[in-house]
């Protein structure tokens, strides 16, 4: 894998981690799965390993990613779910046949025949968060260049950033630098 590919953003929610394979949607977009092989890498890292990916499957994966993003953004904004996004998510769940299996050490793994099955797992996860079946709430990243939809499971349900290590830190740094310029650099470090 070339060094120039951006790292994956891995979260605790499969479907919103999948939408995070395209970040900075309102700035300079960063594509983290530009090729079918990179999609296979992402699936493997997320416990959905499959052997190959066709161009058509790659297209379906990106369509699902955008459908989940559209539906999650609508849910976080208290808007109706986009009908096309709902159709795409439903198509992906009904066309796959993944099987959860229990391992001897008590974990769940997925038995997958291919990308279609992996996409079904991702789509089913999206349905779980979009319908309110899971504890948490949909939110949008406060970064004006990101605005990623994420599933907030924090105790207070008041998380502002999709990732504190990226968007949150970037915004804090921008606030600090703006404050430095405004005060002429006399701001104590603890006030940033």
**Which residue ranges form the domains of the chain, and what is each CATH number?**
14-136 (1.10.3300.10)
**d(C-alpha 175, C-alpha 89), whole Å:** 38
Please give the pLDDT value at position 27.
80
Return the closest-CA partner of residue 81 out of 93, 69, 65.
69
pLDDT band at 192 (very low <50, low <70, confident <90, very high): very low
69 touches 19 (CB < 8 A): yes
The answer to whether residue 10 scores a pLDDT higher than 90 is no
**d(C-alpha 75, C-alpha 162), whole Å:** 15
**d(C-alpha 34, C-alpha 83), whole Å:** 27
Query: What residue has token string 């797992």?
Result: 121
Express each pLDDT in 50-92 by its tens digit.
999 999 999 999 999 999 999 999 999 999 999 999 999 999 9
The least confident of 53-62, 127-136, 155-164, 166-175 is: 166-175
Stated pTM of the model:
0.82
């Amino acid at each position: 894998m070339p060094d120039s590919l951006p790292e994956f953003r891995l979260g605790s929610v499969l479907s919103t981690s999948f939408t995070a394979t395209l970040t900075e949607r309102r700035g300079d977009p960063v594509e983290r799965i530009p090729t079918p092989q990179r999609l296979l890498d992402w699936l493997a890292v997320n416990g959905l390993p499959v052997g190959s990916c066709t161009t058509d499957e790659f297209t379906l994966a990106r369509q699902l990613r955008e459908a989940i993003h559209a539906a999650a953004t609508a849910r976080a904004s208290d808007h109706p779910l986009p009908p096309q996004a709902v159709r795409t998510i439903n198509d992906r769940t009904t066309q796959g046949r993944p099987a959860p299996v229990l391992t001897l050490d008590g974990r769940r793994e997925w038995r997958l025949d291919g990308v279609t099955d992996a996409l079904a797992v991702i789509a089913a996860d999206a349905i779980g968060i979009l319908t309110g079946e899971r504890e948490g709430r949909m939110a949008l990243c406060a970064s004006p260049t990101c605005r990623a939809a994420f599933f907030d499971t924090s105790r207070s349900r008041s998380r502002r950033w999709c990732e504190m290590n990226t968007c949150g830190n970037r915004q804090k740094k921008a606030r600090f630098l703006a404050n430095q310029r405004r005060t002429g650099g006399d701001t104590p470090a603890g006030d940033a």
